[in-house]
Structure 1
């Protein structure tokens, strides 16, 4: 599943399509995709894991689920096209994605302060939301999109390793300082992820995600295929990452 930084990269790669009129539409989506024909793309935005194609009066929301992908100004050979938007200068092709229309003002539909990569990101709001879910374990809390929009499983695993916290630690067991570290690193690691992915070196920088040995202490990392209520993969060091509470 693409995480927030990957959606920001998509937004940047597709920037030349903003301001252009949709000339043709095709794909196997059950959505009324022909609705977009003749409309001008007002802007391209992103919120967490959502890619947003904004038109006058409505927005196409794209979610890439687990296996979604895209191609810009080219098509994927053999891929079943969910949606293709054709412009005078370029095209956007989406595969295995979830599509939905959002009516009206997009700013009323999203809390931009929750997006860890947005200029409007509000760490104080994130802290308040965390304090409202004291029993939630941190592995689940970091994946809460209304708190950390854009944070996915890779970022979750790497952030918890950075701050030396065991993924099964409940939020209420963290000190105020540790909560601050988690909030800060959710944003900082997201921007590291963004830079590394643009340079095609992201996987080289994984410390624990999909790894077997702790880069700090050399011990074997622990792996849980389904951890927490989110049931997502967890990679962590049982020695370096302290279980609080």
Structure 2
């Protein structure tokens, strides 16, 4: 599943269409595509892994899910995979194997934009309040909670826990104040590092524990285990990541 930084890169690719009118809309998403024709793309907003194409009176929410993708201008994938294709004067945006929904302005007002770890609106204070309200939640689950850390995925989760030296199964309420602050800070810091490395196609080169065999600090074996309520894969070093 694409994580927040990858969606930021997608937004940058789509930005050229802002201010343009939709000439045609195609695809097999179960929406009223005609409602988009003639509408002007006013803005593109992100909420973690979700992309909002904001038009007059209506907006489109795109979620790439596990295997979604997009293309600009040229369609190279089959029509059966095309969920939504919008044609503008400057070209096309095409979304495949993803979730597409129409939402109204009232819905947009319910989105907690301050939960997006890569947004200028990001609120570490609010994230801390949410974490403190769920002291029994494991750190691995907390980082993947899109209501707290919107945009964080499994790569970021694992690398952040290694950076701060915390075992994934540690309950949030057991973390010392400094570690809790580190968790919040590094969720954002690593997301921007992810973006930087992704731009130059060097993300995997910088993985410390994710799908690695040996700890880069002590040389011990990296443990792989499905952890938390979500049973997502965690990669960690038992020596360098403390279980609180």
Q: TM tier, shorter chain?
A: over 0.9
CA distance in 2, matches of 1:240, 1:173: 17
- Confirm or deny that 1:233 pairs with 2:243: no
What displacement does 1:65 show? 0.7
CA RMSD in angstroms comes to 1.2
CA distance in 1, matches of 2:23, 2:77: 22
- Confirm or deny that 1:222 pairs with 2:223: yes
CA distance in 2, matches of 1:26, 1:146: 32
Instruction: In structure 2, list runs of 5 or more residues that go unmatched.
Output: none
Show the counterpart of 2:29.
29
Structure 1 window deviating more from structure 2 (72-81 vs 34-43): it is: 72-81
Conserved 8 A contact 1:208-1:214: yes
Show the counterpart of 2:75.
75
- Confirm or deny that 1:43 pairs with 2:26: no
- Confirm or deny that 1:207 pairs with 2:208: yes
CA distance in 1, matches of 2:208, 2:3: 17
What displacement does 1:77 show? 3.3
SS of 2:45's equivalent in the other structure is strand
For each residue in 1:133-192, what CA deviation from the matched residue of structure 2 results, as whole angstroms up to 9, or x when unmatched? 000000000011111111111000000000000000000110011000000000000000
What displacement does 1:59 show? 1.1
Q: How does 1:8-157 map to 2 (within 5 A)?
A: 8-78=8-78, 80-105=81-106, 107-157=108-158
TM value normalised by structure 2 = 0.97
Instruction: In structure 1, list runs of 5 or more residues that go unmatched.
Output: none
TM value normalised by structure 1 = 0.96
What displacement does 1:89 show? 0.7
CA distance in 1, matches of 2:14, 2:89: 14
Conserved 8 A contact 1:58-1:105: no
CA distance in 2, matches of 1:134, 1:33: 44
CA distance in 2, matches of 1:106, 1:117: 21
CA distance in 1, matches of 2:75, 2:158: 33
Conserved 8 A contact 1:57-1:105: no
CA distance in 2, matches of 1:182, 1:124: 12
Structure 1 window deviating more from structure 2 (164-173 vs 97-106): it is: 97-106
For each residue in 1:119-141, what CA deviation from the matched residue of structure 2 results, as whole angstroms up to 9, or x when unmatched? 11111111000000000000000
CA distance in 1, matches of 2:178, 2:31: 46
Conserved 8 A contact 1:59-1:106: no
Show the counterpart of 2:192.
191
CA distance in 2, matches of 1:148, 1:123: 10
